[in-house]
Amino acid sequence: MEIQHIVSGFSAKLSSAPSIPIGKQLFSLKFPSIQSQNFEVPSGDFYSISIGKKDRFYSSRRRVRCRSSSNTADPNKENEVRAQVAGRRKKLAVFVSGGGSNFKSIHEASKRGSLHGDVVVLVTNKSECGGAEYARNHGIPVIVFPKAKAESDGLSPNDLVATLRRFEVDFILLAGYLKLIPVELTRAYERSIFNIHPSLLPAFGGKGYYGMKVHKAVIASGARFSGPTIHFVDEHYDTGRILAQRVVPVLANDTAEELAARVLREEHQLYVEVAEALCEDRIVWRKDGVPLIQSKANPNETY
């Protein structure tokens, strides 16, 4: 099966990506229209800057200075530096609307070391939800998006993109976030936004299918199996490319609550596994455009 690796772990479009303050060193990045460019990154201090809202902070940094690549560059040194850049801990933004149990699972995996990344910011449309409270209790900044009538603060789509850039976010993980992601964000973070849905998509997905409504519909349909799906996010509800699924049985006498609990247990495991693959750059694309996960134990195997 022919596959191609995605450069830089699906990081957002390079033209608007923030600088990476990693000390004075050279590293090579691939661009679509240029074979390679070397960047000299000067070391610099970070300055904590408040943007005027509670629990919303970011850091500023000096700009990256670019220079043309040299034909006499040491390939061994370049490969070593590239490996260091690829191996850095990824920065994650998680979006929630409720209790955030999947968010908690991802954060716990990061803290115990199995996940090579850190949740650097939480985005929510409900500033007092359980997920937001958990984030504040663990020192994670909370951003409100979109602004609602009942909320005293909130960001516009462009402000949200700019703020995530300042946090140097690599990947966005939706974990029970019930709002449609704006086109400004999907374009800025192409192939870098993921969602978990409590059914085997494309079945029981789309606008209006969320939470307990999904499980009630599954049982009413007579389906014998269900389970969570993790997919790339596009401009519509639940229509992005499927990345991973986990199957659970639907028992003859299941209630929606019983099925929901069974699916949720699998969600917690599956989302952590996918997040680990993202942070280790183990997502690959088949020639026909289907995303696959590369096995950690055997890089020649995908699933």
- For 138-175, how does the pLDDT look when each residue is reduced to its tens digit (9 = 90+)? 999 999 999 766 666 778 999 999 999 999 999 999 99
Greatest alpha-carbon pair distance for the chain in Å reads 70
Task: Output the CA angle 260-262-264, nearest 5 degrees.
Answer: 65
- Asked whether the beta carbons of 6 and 283 are under 8 A apart, the reply is yes
Cross-strand pairs, 143: 123
Count of beta carbons in the 10 Å neighbourhood of residue 36: 12
Query: 38: which strand partners?
Result: 28, 67
pLDDT band at 80 (very low <50, low <70, confident <90, very high): low
Q: Over pLDDT 70: what percentage of the chain? A: 70
- Residues 258-281: tens digit of each pLDDT: 999 999 999 999 999 999 999 999
Is the bond into 146 cis (omega within 30 degrees of 0)? yes
Given a cut of 70, whether residue 37 has pLDDT beyond it is no
**pLDDT score, position 147:** 76
Task: Count the neighbouring beta carbons within 10 Å of the beta carbon of residue 56.
Answer: 17
Average pLDDT of the chain, as a whole number:
80
Terminal Cα-to-Cα distance of the chain (whole angstroms): 11
Which residue among 197, 215, 231, 268 is the active-site one? Answer: 197
Give the residue from 240, 160, 246 showing the smallest Cα distance to 206: 240
* Catalytic (active site) residue 107: no
pLDDT over 50 at 60, yes or no = no
